[in-house]
Structure 1
Amino acid sequence: MSENSSIISISTEIMGGTPVFLGTRVPIQTLFDYLEAGESIDDFLEGFLTVSREKVITLVKLRL
C-alpha cells in the first residue's frame, strides 16, 4: 500500500470522484487552496475537524 492510499480516497460514490482525505468528504484541493491563500495548517484543521494533522503533514511533505 502506498503512502498516498492511506491519505487520499478517490471514489465516484464520494464527491463524484474528487480526491478527498480518506474517511472524509474533504477535498484534497481545499487544503492546497487554504495554503495558497496564506492560511495555516491550523486554520485548515480548525475548519475541517474530520481531517487529522498527521494526514495533512504527510500530504504536504509528499507534494514538496
Structure 2
Amino acid sequence: MDDQPFIQVDPQIMLGKPCIAGTRITVEAILEDLSAGQPEEEILASYPRLTPESLDAAQTYAKRP
C-alpha cells in the first residue's frame, strides 16, 4: 500500500510529526493505541476522521526504514 496520500509531515502541524493527512492524528498516537492492545475497530471509533485505509497507512509508514 502507498502511504503517501494518507500521511503528511508539516512543521506547522503537531511539531512536524507524521500525521494522518487532513487531521492532527499522529502516526505515533495510532501506534501507541495498537501497542496497548486496542482493537482496530475501537481506534477507528475513537477517531471518526480515521479510515481503515489511513490506519493501514500509519502502520505501513511506521515500518519504513
Q: Same fold (TM over 0.5)?
A: yes
State the Cα RMSD in Å: 1.7
Cα separation, partners in 2 of 1:31 and 1:7, compared to 1, 3 Å: same
Task: Quote the residue 1:43 is aligned against.
Answer: 42
Contact 2:7 2:21 in 1 (8 A): yes
- After TM superposition, the score normalised by the length of structure 2 is 0.79
Percent sequence identity over aligned pairs:
21
Q: How many residues align?
A: 61
**Residues 4-15 of structure 1: matches in 2 within 5 Å?**
4-15=3-14
User: Which segments of 5 or more consecutive residues in structure 2 lack a partner in the other structure?
Assistant: none
Cα separation, partners in 2 of 1:23 and 1:16, compared to 1, 3 Å: same
State the alpha-carbon separation in 1 of the partners of residues 58 and 27 from structure 2.
9
State the alpha-carbon separation in 1 of the partners of residues 8 and 18 from structure 2.
6
Which amino acid is 2:53 matched to? E
Q: Which runs of 4+ in 1 moved over 3 A?
A: none
User: Which segments of 5 or more consecutive residues in structure 1 lack a partner in the other structure?
Assistant: none
**Higher RCO (CA < 8 A, seq sep 6+):** 2
**Residues 21-36 of structure 1: matches in 2 within 5 Å?**
21-36=20-35
- After TM superposition, the score normalised by the length of structure 1 is 0.81
